[in-house]
Structure 1
Amino acid sequence: MNTALKSLLLLCALMCFKLSANTPYQIPRSSVIELTEPVTNRVYPVFIQLPKSYKKHPGKIYPVIYLTDAPYTFPIVAGATRFPMNSGKMQQAIIVAIGYEKGSAGSNSRIRDYTPTFAKDWKKKTGNAQNHALFLKNTVLPYIENTYRASSTHKTYIGNSLGGLFGATILFTMPDLFSSYIIGSPSVWFNSYAILALQAHKPSMPTKVYISVGANEIPSFGEGQNMVEGAKQLAQKIKALSSNNIELKSVVIDGANHATAFPTTAIQGLDWVLGKANINTIK
């Protein structure tokens, strides 16, 4: 190889390195769209990731994982499921994460939209969970199912903290909206445990419910609320429904606190819902 050709190849290599070093990493096969809540005209970003095999199997229908708190949960779940899905240990699925109202502070949006009742002692708006659930039902889910090869029956909800409270609210008020619920560190304590007084309806179809909380989510470890006790009481309320359609699993994560429990909750819950034992069940 002559000197000129070697120099050219070296220059190309250096340019490629410079390009890759300055190119921001993007989650593969992902996009962000915006959907409008028709009653209030609030606009919400929706993060979407398609499975690796999506283009290779044009006739395949995929289960869908729906997440709240998109900026936090989307990269965690997309990253944590990449190896198990691509290696065949977990069913490949479409991942959809709903963000916060555009132009609103995240805390304002989630406190308003994920809480089931009005709390008069809170400075920020509360109690919009039922309307936000209708936004999912009437706008988000139909868009995903009409735009992608997304299952209308195999749908998993994942929410953490107030998002876990929101998931419990949906489970009790419109349980058939999702086929599985992964409820992480639910804020059962909100508004004097109002969720436990909420009238609950039984699902009409088989439904999996996974509740997970960190063992250290208690006041003696510096937490403001006893999340472990709250998760326990939530599980008891679900058991009291005495529904043969509900398969419940409740887990306490050793050593985890409120800030660290979610990644374990998400991947272990998804393994229980979409793990190898359930492969080829989607129709």
Structure 2
Amino acid sequence: MTAIAVLGSTNMDLVAYVARAPGRGETVTGREFRTVPGGKGANQAVAAARAGGDVVMIGAVGTDEYGSALRTNLEHAGVDTELLHTVAGPSGTAHIVVDDEGSNAIVVIPGANGTVTSLGPGGSAAIAAAGLLLLQLELPLPVVTEGARTAKARGVRTILTPSPVQPLPAGLLDDIDLLVPNEHEAAALTGCVDPHGAAQILLRQVPEVVITLGRKGCLYAARGGEPVLFPAPEVTAVDTTGAGDTFVGTLAVALGEGRSVPAALAWASSAAALCVQRPGASTSMPHRSEIDAA
């Protein structure tokens, strides 16, 4: 079983479903509201655990009712939460609007996630014992940098999802083995809107890049090779929230099991395709048997 450490956020997703998202200054009537456990870190942890990974979550939740629900959701998925600390105050929340095309717009309030400013001995030990480390940018950048540096020093493969996209600290990408932005994040990081061009720029800083392209699939590029486009399965999307995290979590499991890059990307794409056909983030993530069947 693949040992995966996730250093990342836990949020409660407050999701409103609407025919179309409101414009500035506009009010629209929604048809449904759901409260769903989420956060990019927790989503990736759940996705990896359901796909067969041995996952430990490093982060924080608050003392509110959301905190206990977020912890329980992770534990039900099989994630080790010993290093998911409880801190005084509110848990993180994500306020999400999902339209009839399955597209979403999200506002994240960090809450307890903002208190995770260093690893501590437990976090460092968990990373050192893992085969892979998953990182995102919903925690303070100093701890993300510390996590990547710790993994690099211990020879642990590191995968970074640069979301929410922002200027990165000097040297962070030097400690990343695989960068997985979507096409908008890749453009923001490089100033290049063409994914092929953005991939070549990013390869100056990281050895491997996967740029996710939504319905068009994903673009894989590695130093010394030509970029390869992998198509996505054709499905009707209900809710794309969590699809990227499903992709990354299952990709980590596949790579940790020693699958080839094409096989790993195909497996992760199948998982993401299953995810978008269901509402919610962590609640929509498929189990290993479903992915294998797809």
TM-score range, shorter chain: 0.3 to 0.5
Higher relative contact order (CA 8 A, sep 6+): 2
Larger Rg: 1
> How high is the TM-score relative to the length of structure 2?
0.40
> How high is the TM-score relative to the length of structure 1?
0.42
